[in-house]
Amino acid sequence: MGRLESKIAIITGAGSGIGKATALVFAQEGAHVICADINLEAAGAVVKEIKENNGEVTALFVDVADEKSVIEFAEQCKEKFGRVDVLFNNAGIDTAGGKLHNYSTELWDKIMAVDLRGTFLVSKYIIPLMLDNGGSIINCSSVSGIGADFNRAGYNAAKGGVHNLTKTMAIDYARDGIRVNQIAPGTIDTPLIEQILGEEGARKFKKSYELVDPMGRLGKPEEVAKVVLFLASDDSSYVTGESILIDGGHMAYTWPGELLSDLVK
């Protein structure tokens, strides 16, 4: 306990899933958590839960894809806190769009705006609040930024961009005392799955994923949050420019055939 004592920590997309789990863990470890979200009602529910456990927390609105909104958000952070010690660029969206020749340009632009441009914008305007004292930035990429998913060109490309943006940020700011790393989760059991696939589609997807995942299950948001905590804390003081897979071993093999062979009649 206390690994983030007195730290000011921003989490974008803090209203649900990985963001919510990380906000709860950060608060338990002593941080004042800024729950930043486009959905203030969802962020407010997280704030309520943290306060019930005597944590320090603030909810602030931000649309990470809108530069004006991000500027206003950064100004609020500066006015209220004067500095930021930890930034978790977690906000993101995902949906299937079909093969590239059928892929909607509108969908491409929307995903790029949130997942890649949003990471750029929030970092751009929050880094000045870290320059005096240093800090830690954690970007949320995905296994889809290293491999790829069917019918998701926009998401795959955006998360691939986050992967290399992380390395760029790491070398640019290492001598300013700012460490920059990324996590690359596999499929984590969050509300996003049902939002994308619907209740029945999510049920089928989860069962099929269990068959090909070496650990035989989806990850939990709390498991991701603990890795983010490591990267946010001084426990990772000599770690920068790194990507940590959180996927139950999913990316460790090239062919799932042997995992499935006992199901073949």
The catalytic site residues sit at: 155
| Backbone φ, ψ for residue 173 (5° rounding) | -115, 5
Closest to 173 in 3D by CA, of 206, 213, 212, 129: 129
Closest to 221 in 3D by CA, of 14, 17, 49: 17
CA distances, 122 to each of 98, 154, 183 (Å): 29, 20, 17
Cβ-contact 225, 18 below 8 angstroms: yes
| Backbone φ, ψ for residue 60 (5° rounding) | -135, 140
Tell me the H-state helices in 6-95: 17-28, 40-52, 67-81
Cβ-contact 82, 89 below 8 angstroms: no
| Backbone φ, ψ for residue 224 (5° rounding) | -70, -45
3-state secondary structure string across 122-190 = HHHHHHHHCCCCCEEEEEECCHHHCCCCCCEHHHHHHHHHHHHHHHHHHHHHHHHCEEEEEEEECCECC
